[in-house]
């Protein structure tokens, strides 16, 4: 299954990105100070989202080092505390496969997750869960428009 989604431990290039963040868009240089204002309560919104995903979809956790994936049976397998999260290295970031949505969800830097999808409805499926967790979503087009 992992080879459907990953190549050389990276999500395949054919997937598009939708960003999920505690912020409603890219901060830009002027607002980078907001990264230092994130509270544990803000950060826990991601665990709320992960809980909803695991409860609603078969979800597989990816182990990039040995290129395997395992069905998530317990949320504690994929979540960490606020302090643990603040000290993670990129190699420890969460990577999840959601086969029913033909998508991948990966943890990234600066309080952001990325939903990798093929414009097949995964964004619309997860939008209510993202919103109910108190998070925001935006896509690469937004990023490209914003960065100009």
Distance (Å, whole) CA 142 – CA 57: 27
Q: pLDDT for 61-101, tens place per residue?
A: 998 778 889 999 988 888 888 888 888 888 888 999 999 99
Please give the pLDDT value at position 120.
86
Helix (H, G, I), strand (E, B) or coil at 147: coil
Say what the pTM is: 0.89
Q: What is the pLDDT along the chain (148 residues), one digit of tens a residue?
A: 888 999 888 899 999 999 999 998 888 889 888 888 889 999 999 999 999 999 999 999 998 778 889 999 988 888 888 888 888 888 888 999 999 999 999 999 888 999 999 988 899 999 999 999 999 999 866 544 444 3
Query: Strands, DSSP E only, in 1-148?
Result: 6-7, 10-11, 16-21, 60-63, 68-71, 95-98, 103-108, 112-117, 136-139
Please give the pLDDT value at position 144.
44
Residue closest to 96 by CA, chosen among 123, 116, 118, 111: 116
Residue-range domain boundaries for the chain: 25-146
């Amino acid at each position: 299954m992992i080879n459907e989604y990953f190549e050389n431990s990276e999500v395949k290039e054919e997937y598009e990105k939708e960003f999920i963040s505690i912020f409603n868009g890219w901060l830009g240089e002027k607002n980078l100070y907001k990264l230092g204002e994130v509270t544990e309560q803000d950060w826990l919104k991601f665990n709320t989202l992960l809980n909803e995903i695991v409860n609603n979809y078969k979800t597989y956790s990816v182990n990039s080092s040995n290129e395997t994936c395992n069905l998530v049976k317990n949320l504690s397998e994929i979540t960490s505390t606020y302090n643990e999260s603040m000290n993670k290295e990129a190699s420890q970031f969460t990577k999840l496969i959601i086969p029913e949505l033909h998508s991948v969800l990966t943890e990234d830097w600066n309080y952001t997750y990325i939903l990798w999808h093929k414009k097949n409805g995964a964004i619309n499926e997860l939008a209510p869960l993202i919103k109910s967790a108190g998070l925001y979503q935006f896509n690469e087009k937004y990023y490209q428009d914003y960065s100009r």
